Amino acid sequence: MTIKKLDGKVPAGNVSEVWDNHRFNMKLINPANKRKFNVIVVGTGLAGASAAASLAELGYNVQSFCIQDSPRRAHSIAAQGGINAAKNYPNDGDSIWRLFYDTVKGGDYRAREANVYRLAQVSNNIIDQCVAQGVPFAREYGGTLSNRSFGGAQVSRTFYARGQTGQQLLLGAYSAMMKEVGKGKIKLYTRREMVELVMVDGKARGIITRNIVTGELERFAADAVLLCTGGYGNAYYLSTNAMASNCSAAWRAHKKGAYFANPCYTQIHPTCIPMHGENQSKLTLMSESLRNDGRVWVPKKPGDKRAPNDIPEDERDYYLERKYPSFGNLVPRDVASRNAKEQVDLGKGVGATGVAVYLDFLDAIKRDGEDVIRQKYGNLFDMYQRITDDNPYEVPMRIYPAVHYTMGGLWVDYNLMSNVPGLFVLGEANFSDHGANRLGASALMQGLADGYFVIPYTLGNYFANEKPNEQKVGTDHEAFDKAYNEAKDKYQQLLSINGTQPVDYYHKELGKIMWEYVGMSRNEEGLKKAISQIKDLRKQFWKDVKVPGENTNVNVELEKAGRVADFLEIGELMARDALERKESCGGHFREESQTEENEAKRDDENFCHVAAWEFTGVDNEPIRHVEELKFENVKLTQRSYK
Amino acid sequence: MGNNTVSMNLNLKIWRQKSATDKGEMVDYKLTDVSPDMSFLEMLDMLNDRLIREGKDPVAFDHDCREGICGMCSLMINGQAHGPERETTTCQLHMRSFKNGDTIVIEPWRAKAFPIHKDLMVDRSAFDEIIAAGGYVSVNTGHAPDANAIPIPKENADLAMDAAACIGCAACVASCKNASAMLFVSAKISQLALLPQGEAESKQRAEAMVAKMDELGFGNCTNEAECEASCPKGIDISNIARMNREFIKGGLTNR
Amino acid sequence: MSSRLTRIVGSSIVKKQAMAITGLLLCGFLVTHLAGNFLIIYSADAFNQYAYALTSNPLIYVAEAGLAALFLGHIGMAIKLTLENHKARPQKYYMKKPTGRGSTFASSTMPYTGMITLIFLVIHLINFKFGPLYMTTVDGVEMRDLYRTVVEYFASPLNVLWYIIAMVALGIHLSHGVWSAFQSLGFNHPSYTPTLRMASKAFAVLIVVGYSSLPIYCYLIQGGH
């Protein structure tokens, strides 16, 4: 067990020229030869759909897989706020360099500089591409694109389409993809779940999928496999992720040798609708833009059960405005979330459950009038009222943080390839660009950057160098048999346990452990407890889970069981990574590492690196490899939002 | 804040069908202790939890984001697509819309073009086929001019956005007495016809998408607007009129 | 490319538009027919002369053929579309409830009101066009006394009642049909459509009241003038 120093393969040179030089230095595939290469793309979110479309346009044969009944339903669709780009249309001082700088800083200096710079560079192309596809971005009366400031950014660089930016961008990528489906360059497989990665001679050469409608296990071979399968936030059971969002494709690739990087970096979004009770199945996020006008407060007195409007002004604590006078309610997501938890832990939480804080618009309504507020947030207010039955025009909203995004993911180099040759990872599924904390409106940007403007180049370079097409691998190869049997046995085993508790029970129990000990605030004792509790829960799951039915039909419980089995493993790794990272940074807050003012304190001396974990067996200790991070362009400073 | 103290007892009548080839039937269930703050799908989760514990087959239904945007959830609830509330998907429907003792009839979307996989889960891939027939702008990655190169009047951009809000849930087909897909198809045709980027291909697009829609066995439009009334995103039937114009324009002038 | 022609002509949209065009032209027929009917009130001779002028013109055969084509086209297409619509949902819902925000009584009963109108049309032709043949002389010209046929027919209150019922059905058909035809042809505009929908209803009322007023008049005069 030797700890490797991983190489991110960032080409040498000035950060602003690295990508351009690299594009020139990468090898090309002759247009006529591209049709000789087959590519598997798993997932059809922003990263998967844009990659599938772009690669098919170049001439590669693409096979695309999604878990839903249509590629258009991937969870990218739920992003509300917007997408960043360094267009500087508002002439307010934005630039590629500034977007780069803000993103590295926002990620608390735990991302690769060169990756982030490239992201900022291609951000402008993304907007052009989306507009050309017919994405109906908001516009000014003169017909030009409208921008807004988002997530506390000092410049207006966010492009948006009502409160449905993610949906509109995804529909753009989806339509580009369906164009290629119509031409036959993409073969689309819906209601399929990737259950195994197939490796031949140490390279990724195919996948096994489970057909969700028939239960059949199917084999697909290719020259490269792209995982665009999103994050693992549902390890917490309750999150803003969709119900089917899962870590299984990435996790099973991890078990075949792909390193998992920074699993402890999770983003907890501050403005979600609090849970109502035990039967809650998921949490709903409301756009962060609400904090532009809403004021966050709790009663000064713990346990104050009066109705919010009965609590006089001087008995309210606007704690964000008090603690962070210059940023106030617009502090970054991690800071806002942690502070909400702190207030609830002090017994000042509000609402029936006591696990919420107020987000009050009454002052904004007094100042601007109800019409202005309705125009800005009408959709969100309606959604809030539909879910909670409260009218936010009259009563303050109740909000509470919820798991929203995972910055960690499979480790990839500058070319988006994992340590497994031929296995590329895009979008939220990789760990690359957001460091320890993602800024608002940056996730959409990264997914599309990876798919439209990075992978089309770097995949060609891999093909040109490795020539996987010269040793064709068919689905009758013994590696496929082996992977097929592993998958079959696993499902058989799940069906044969026939215990007492349904799958959801275990998922909820895992969620409670994760939220309690691997949530917004973490400490050594709690993380150790989490690791041992997860191990116990996993044992119990494999002894006692109840999965009805058989594997020859739609069997939703069997699907879920397979995914929860993986969450029960990744949860442990998340806790382990959090335990080993003894510093606080971004979304990872270790109570042992804080400033005198209770703010996150980084330890750049010991932890200015990426931790990438190698799988060694389910109950074995994984190996922690590191990739050192060097900052040559951005100066490391302690974040302060005072 | 919702009413936590009351809980409801419900009679459910649910369509059960083991597979595409099974005949299927309505089955009665009784469900107790339903909280009015639960979403409709959480109520079904609760039913399934009980069925699993009793060793019975849980009810299969489609759902994913549970925040009203992915378009995956469906369900005919008491004879209405996505239930009784206006502009609300099933996942955003809450049990406070029902009363203690209510009987709730739950059926899948029904249309020839949407065969049933199991129980309440149907195959809507016909919609993807229609998009693949022409619901796009033929611009490859990298071909785009600067985003502000072509100004678009705000009014058109807003109208395009109205049409683009379609989530492809197919409530329009489900609620239409003719199982017509005109609202879905017209929303995409309208969105792209309203924007200069999509206008270039608008004639071919309308022709190709309508041909695919007809081929897949959807019914004809009788302008009753039940689709508009059932649409969780409030897509307007003026889009259908626009599609009719685009189609005839294309049919007459396209070569 | 001939297959393109058949595809476009056979498309759901053109079929709807064929319904719309034939329907609107038939509305034109309704208006002219109604105008002619009012001559009954003016005088028996005027009415008979009008009928004679129409029927003695050799172009009548062309006009009748055209009219028959419109009717047959409208009806035939309606049958075809209705059958297709039934096929689009082979398995019906156990429970189906309108939202109350979309379909109306008129829109949901189009096939039925259409059928009533068709039955009425057949009976109407039997009673009048091929009904009892009386002759009269006006200004020295011998011609059919259609006036007498009409007035005799409406002496029976049952006939009057049936006529009015049929006209109400037609009115219901039109109240949705006229607006719907514009929508099918692609006319929908936020500023004008609400007015058009009102106008559609107003037209239906005009047709019902106009047509029903004559049988009532004939019944009241009971053959005398």
**Tell me, what CATH number does C55's domain have?**
1.20.1300.10
Q: Give per-residue burial for A397-408: e unless 16+ CB within 10 Å, then b.
A: bbbbbbbbbbbb
Q: What is the mean pLDDT of residues A260-273?
A: 96
Q: How far apart are CA C172 and CA C195, in angstroms?
A: 18
B57 dihedral zone (left: phi>0; alpha: psi -120 to 50; beta)? beta
Q: Which residue among A219, A333, A398, A576 is the active-site one?
A: A333
Q: Classify residue C213: in a domain, yes or no.
A: yes
Q: Residue A640 — very low, low, confident or very high, per pLDDT cuts 50/70/90?
A: confident
Residue from B222, B228, B240 to probe the interface with C (highest C Cβ count within 10 Å): B222
The tens-digit pLDDT sequence of chain C (225 residues) is 458 888 899 999 999 999 999 999 999 999 999 999 999 999 999 999 999 999 999 999 999 999 999 999 999 999 999 999 999 999 999 999 999 999 999 999 999 999 999 999 999 999 999 999 999 999 999 999 999 999 999 999 999 999 999 999 999 999 999 999 999 999 999 999 999 999 999 999 999 999 999 999 999 987 555
Q: What is the mean pLDDT of residues A527-540?
A: 98
Q: What is the mean pLDDT of residues A232-238?
A: 97
pLDDT for A599 equals 83
Q: Classify residue C141: in a domain, yes or no.
A: yes
pLDDT for B251 equals 85
Q: What is the 3-state secondary structure (H, E, C) of C48-107?
A: HHHHHHHHHCCHHHHHHHHHHHHHHHHHHHHHHHHHHHHHCCCCCCCCCCCCCCCCCHHH
pLDDT for C224 equals 56
**Looking at the predicted structure, is the pLDDT value of residue A547 above 70?**
yes
Q: What percent of chain B has pLDDT over 90?
A: 94
Residue from A281, A497, A545 to probe the interface with B (highest B Cβ count within 10 Å): A281
Do B112 and C103 make contact, defined as CB atoms within 8 angstroms? no
pLDDT for B239 equals 97
Q: Classify residue C3: in a domain, yes or no.
A: no
- Of A444 and A149, more confident: A444
Per-residue tokens: A311: 């609590």
The string of pLDDT tens digits covering residues B60-119 is 999 999 999 999 999 999 999 999 999 999 999 999 999 999 999 999 999 999 999 999
**Who among C14, C91, C97 is closest to B79 (CB)?**
C97
- The structural architecture, per CATH, of the domain A478-628 is Up-down Bundle (1.20)
Do C88 and B112 make contact, defined as CB atoms within 8 angstroms? yes
- Of B96 and A81, more confident: B96
ipTM of the complex: 0.97
pLDDT for A420 equals 98
Nearest to A197 by CA among A417, A474, A479, A450: A479
Residue ending a domain, choose from B72, B107, B142: B107
**CB A142: neighbour CB atoms within 10 A?**
10
Rg of chain B in Å (alpha carbons): 21
C88 reaches B (C-beta below 8 A): yes
Per-residue tokens: A492: 């058989």
Per the structure, the count of domains in chain C is 1
Q: Classify residue B80: in a domain, yes or no.
A: yes
The string of pLDDT tens digits covering residues C137-194 is 999 999 999 999 999 999 999 999 999 999 999 999 999 999 999 999 999 999 999 9
Instruction: Please give the DSSP secondary-structure letter assigned to residue A274.
Output: P
Do A178 and B131 make contact, defined as CB atoms within 8 angstroms? yes
Report yes or no on chains A and C touching (3+ CB pairs under 8 A): no
pLDDT for C1 equals 47
Q: How far apart are CA C160 and CA C179, in angstroms?
A: 29
Give pTM, 2 decimals.
Answer: 0.96
Q: What percent of chain A has pLDDT over 90?
A: 90
Out of 3.40.1160.10, 3.90.700.10, 3.40.50.300, 1.10.10.10, select the CATH number for domain A268-402. Answer: 3.90.700.10
Q: Classify residue C5: in a domain, yes or no.
A: no
Domain that holds residue C42: 11-87+97-221
Domain that holds residue B128: 124-253
Q: Classify residue C133: in a domain, yes or no.
A: yes
Chain A residues near residue B118 by CB distance under 8 angstroms: 213, 553-554
Residues of chain A with CATH 3.90.700.10: 268-402
Active site annotation includes A333? yes
Residue ending a domain, choose from B82, B107, B132: B107
**Looking at the predicted structure, is the pLDDT value of residue A151 above 80?**
no
CATH code of the domain in which B16 resides: 3.10.20.30
Per the structure, the count of domains in chain B is 2
pLDDT for A469 equals 86
Q: How far apart are CA A95 and CA A99, in angstroms?
A: 6
**Looking at the predicted structure, is the pLDDT value of residue A1 above 90?**
no
Same domain for B138 and B98 = no
Mean pLDDT over each residue of chain A, to the nearest integer:
95
Q: What is the mean pLDDT of residues A526-535?
A: 98
Per-residue tokens: B26: 């309505």
Residue ending a domain, choose from B61, B82, B107: B107
Same domain for B27 and B88 = yes
Q: What is the mean pLDDT of residues A159-181?
A: 96
**Looking at the predicted structure, is the pLDDT value of residue B5 above 70?**
no
Q: What percent of chain B has pLDDT over 70?
A: 98
CATH code of the domain in which B226 resides: 1.10.1060.10
Closest residue, chain A, to B155 (C-alpha):
A141
Same domain for B71 and B133 = no
Same domain for B31 and B68 = yes
The string of pLDDT tens digits covering residues B181-219 is 999 999 999 999 999 999 999 989 999 999 999 999 999
